[in-house]
Amino acid sequence: MDAHGPLCVGIDPHPELLAAWGLPDDATGARELARRVMAAVGGRVAAVKPQVAFFERHGSAGVAVLEELVTLGREAGTLVVMDAKRGDIGSTMAAYADAYLRDGAPLAADALTVSPFLGFGSLAPAVEAAQATGRGLFVLALTSNPEGPDVQHARRADGASVAGSIAAAAGRLNAAELGGLGPVGLGSIGLGPVGLESVGLGSVGLVVGATTGDAVARLGIDLEAVRGPLLAPGVGAQGAGATELTAVFGRARRAVLAASSRGVLAAGPDVADLRAAAARAAGEATAALR
């Protein structure tokens, strides 16, 4: 993020976008879209975030495109955040961790989005894999969709909100990791080979929507105490700008990786236009968060 700014470009080859780009709604179209985006932003932004479902819908050929995208990111020196929102228990969660977080796995990315709603402890295999391999997690905490508050704002018997308990659990893991000088994941998150010890961020980040308004403050969540990176979807076309980022993240804003998909991809299919849109978005994110 220091080198390229705190922008993560989403790669979402949904049918409407493929049609707008004049591409077929199949794996070949998804591949061409992904390649053009990477040609435009590879080595120029902190991260890209493929939405896994838009590739999986094309079966094994679509998953092969995801594998190619991981390789393109690695070659460009651009982080790949796999937006899969995986969540399960026991051996199934361990299998997801093997697929996305273990060295040598074809889909092994720099970070993975995960769901804690089977209980935060169910994420243990993914946490262990991320810490062991220097990768990271982004745990769903406060999402931008209108249905999210039904669960995330709910209060537990002890009075804590569900989102607040997720943030607190992530904070405890990061405190133990950083305090013990253990392996620090997301040395990837744009801070280079020095890792994250120098800035105090651990392997377990959160997904906190940039359009969630005053929810962080209203629920009493201390995002600084998380000491992990904060993935913020909703920037750009979804309505969040500098004012919203500042309102949501406050003093934790330097840990934010601002995610924009439609705001950049709408400029396609021309590579130069995509590159210019990403540069504008990165500049705006930097101005808001630094």
CB-based contact 13:55 (threshold 8 Å): yes
Q: Give the list of residues 6+ apart from residue 225 with CB closer than 8 angstroms, or none.
A: 167, 168, 171
If 0-12 CB within 10 Å is exposed, 13-18 middle and 19+ buried, where does residue 116 land? buried
Phi first, then psi: what are they for 29, rounded to 5°? -65, -45
Q: Please, how many CA atoms are within 13 Å of residue 181, restricted to the half-sphere of its CB? A: 0
- Of 239, 242, 240, 204, give the one whose Cα is nearest residue 223: 204
Could you tell me which residues are beta bridge partners of residue 230?
206, 256
Catalytic residue among 31, 44, 85, 275: 85
- Of 207, 199, 53, give the one whose Cα is nearest residue 136: 207
Q: Does the active-site annotation cover 85?
A: yes
Phi first, then psi: what are they for 232, rounded to 5°? -120, 85
CA atoms 119, 181, 183, 252: torsion sign = positive
Enumerate the active-site residues. Answer: 85
